[in-house]
Structure 1
């Protein structure tokens, strides 16, 4: 009996499975109907006609899109391609009325948008008239120019065709690769100019005075320029740029590429239109006036010290034989011992050093950097607490000569303005200077605390006694 039931179940499974295979194999999914029989890659020209404006985009075969009306300008390729794709993939949901008596109820008298497409082979393609959206169903009424019928397409089609010229214009203002830049110049309206030249894989400041540059700061400035995008298109052919502060710009940033090409961005006044907070800019080589976000200018409006290399001291740990430390607890010495070990000497008493802790400290001096250069030369040590430093570290080489002495200070500063509720009444600042430079650097609290350790923390820990036997 059980065997017979099993056989019946297997036969039923075979029948159902076979039927499913036949249906799936021989059935064809009904193809989605399109509004137009056109492929995206075949579209050479798109005209968008509205009640208050006409926009025309076109391209040559294999070439980028460009705006030709109402202004001649480079087009945003992603936006233009999305528009062409939306037209080519517009879906015919169904026919609403083959011969409507009145087009007004569908928002087609007149249409909100008329879309005219031209293909590279000039194949006849009917224009699409776009009406209003349906009350329910999130569809849109449309009509093809070669038929009286009112059709339905997907609701996203309407919004996809509703464009302004600014939606379709390219917003990138400068185009270069960071590795192709040979020179960066930032000139202020007060006459101060910073010129930074590529020096192999690094950068160097040429003006106002030769100095190594902070590669990160330079790359950030170049990144700001190449990534700057127009937030507003102000004037394509301004008769006078004085009103934008661009006759004598506050700031001019110029890059010179390895091939000699030069690109500039000029920064003028802040936008004065209500609700807008951008900065007027123009390309030094082009006429149009744009606006960019305010941070673009503030990111570039830097002093020579901002672009300076902020290395306080650079020492190879392998060359250090002795470290002399003075801090609030007194003085102690860390001295290299045989077999890769270190000794810590306090008050004439020698203890074995904690090698990993000592080596971590020395590795900080491999390339100790400040957060910024506050002044160079330092006008006076007293305002920075460096006349009586909290910490002084002298590194001595294997030849007995001083490699560098670094002084670090920690001071409390009262704010000049009334404190913000909830904020501490004063803040702590950290500064550093070294024997190899006349500059004073702002230091992070982390760097200060990592170096400001008392002698016992550099000493090897005594092994813990074994637990008592039971």
Structure 2
């Protein structure tokens, strides 16, 4: 074999070896890239205790203090737990679709082109007191993916645009916006004060009672509705440095709500919300626990009770008409007793046939009868113009009194409500027993 042949063979082997080495290197790079493209950042959300979010609106510094997120800069405020959870979720769940390699010497030019110098959004993540990483979010060339870079890596990645949106939060979005914060199950009483009226309700075991301006049972469903409205009242704008409360009408509020709640240790906390003048977008308001003034949507103010009627029970009676077997209609000078005999209604006193359908209609009206207003009492109910009592076996299950007519309403009292009420006259007229007699 000649020297020339040996050299040719060596060259071929060198080329083959280089190709194999190059191929292996590329495969390794692909594996490395595949490994890098899984998550934007690996973190345990429960261990994150600090975030700094820098946007065009400025930087917001957040820290978790005793398990609760607080804003430290630019103002010291309570943070929105939901907003922080959203930021952490978008960091944790972001996956990188690909990496872009930066050639040496052109990093600054490329990073500027990608919108990473300066970044659209920068998030600094702190875990157990130490910085885990800094993540920069850049441009979105096709409004689908966005350039992203971690300070701990030299490569630029791409992730979904909505992941950038999910962390692009300013002070307004990150601060707590609930006007009142309490657990409904812990509330012991609520006081709603207006210039001319105070309404107070208090928990009584598993139910609620009105304390002011009247006393008696309260409608649990209505109370729960008021508590839900209070717990869902959100601030819509802020004045973090109010010059005075009088300029907002908060020195003499038009509405004040005091929610008393009991803690696990038995202590009582009062959450107070004051509402002042009408603003351009709602009403000015202030919580006793914070120095700033904010606005609330007008629907919140309009939805607060203006009388105790809304919170009181409306149904006058509670019985099942199908179980009733005896009904007595009592007038001042006479009475009518009707009994159910083998599913047929008859008049026992005075005796005679009656229309069973009309009798059932009277019972249905009684079963559904609701008050349209409360009264301070009516003398006419001491000697009612009509009293209707219903029995099931030997038990009185319904007792209703009707008094004098007042316009298109009638004074009434039922066994479910401890005070006087007004019902619609049209409903009261349907209770008159004259309609049940056959031929009348």
Residue of 92, 95, 98 corresponding to 2:96: 92
CA distance in 1, matches of 2:402, 2:370: 12
- Secondary structure at the residue paired with 1:49? strand
Q: Note the residue ranges of structure 1 that are not aligned, 5 or more in a row.
A: 1-29, 381-388, 412-429, 460-470
The answer to whether the Cα contact below 8 Å between 1:431 and 1:442 also exists between their aligned partners in 2 is: yes
- Provide closer, same or farther for how the CA distance between residues 163 and 431 of structure 1 changes in structure 2, counting only shifts above 3 A: same
Residue of 292, 297, 315 corresponding to 2:296: 292
- Secondary structure at the residue paired with 1:304? coil
* Aligned-pair CA distance for 1:176: 2.8
- Provide closer, same or farther for how the CA distance between residues 121 and 289 of structure 1 changes in structure 2, counting only shifts above 3 A: closer
Query: Which residue of structure 2 lines up, in the alignment, with residue 66 of structure 1?
Result: 70
Quick check: 156-165 or 344-353, which moved more?
Answer: 344-353
- Secondary structure at the residue paired with 2:87? helix
- Provide closer, same or farther for how the CA distance between residues 351 and 320 of structure 1 changes in structure 2, counting only shifts above 3 A: closer
Residue of 344, 348, 353 corresponding to 1:350: 353
Residues 390-401 of structure 1 aligned to structure 2 (within 5 Å): 394-395=388-389
| Matched residues, number | 383
Residue of 32, 36, 41 corresponding to 1:36: 41
CA distance in 2, matches of 1:37, 1:435: 68
Query: Which residue of structure 2 lines up, in the alignment, with residue 383 of structure 1?
Result: none
Deviation readout 1:132-188 (Å, 9 max, x if unpaired)? 10136x111223334554432222222122111121222223233334333221111
Residue of 120, 125, 131 corresponding to 1:117: 125
Residue of 324, 327, 338 corresponding to 1:322: 327
CA distance in 2, matches of 1:435, 1:147: 78
Q: Note the residue ranges of structure 2 that are not aligned, 5 or more in a row.
A: 1-33
- Provide closer, same or farther for how the CA distance between residues 313 and 40 of structure 1 changes in structure 2, counting only shifts above 3 A: closer
CA distance in 1, matches of 2:232, 2:110: 51
Residues 253-268 of structure 1 aligned to structure 2 (within 5 Å): 253-258=257-262, 259=266, 260-268=268-276
* Aligned-pair CA distance for 1:86: 1.6
- Secondary structure at the residue paired with 2:147? strand
Residue of 196, 201, 206 corresponding to 1:196: 201
CA distance in 2, matches of 1:435, 1:86: 59
Query: Which residue of structure 1 lines up, in the alignment, with residue 339 of structure 2?
Result: 336
CA distance in 1, matches of 2:422, 2:346: 32
CA distance in 2, matches of 1:188, 1:270: 15
* Aligned-pair CA distance for 1:334: 5.9
1:187 aligns with 2:193: yes
1:434 aligns with 2:412: yes
Quick check: 433-442 or 214-223, which moved more?
Answer: 433-442
CA distance in 1, matches of 2:188, 2:356: 49
* Aligned-pair CA distance for 1:66: 2.1
The answer to whether the Cα contact below 8 Å between 1:332 and 1:455 also exists between their aligned partners in 2 is: no
Residues 2-13 of structure 1 aligned to structure 2 (within 5 Å): none
CA distance in 2, matches of 1:223, 1:148: 50
Query: Which residue of structure 1 lines up, in the alignment, with residue 8 of structure 2?
Result: none
- Provide closer, same or farther for how the CA distance between residues 341 and 408 of structure 1 changes in structure 2, counting only shifts above 3 A: farther
- Provide closer, same or farther for how the CA distance between residues 376 and 435 of structure 1 changes in structure 2, counting only shifts above 3 A: same
CA distance in 1, matches of 2:276, 2:256: 9
- Provide closer, same or farther for how the CA distance between residues 448 and 108 of structure 1 changes in structure 2, counting only shifts above 3 A: farther
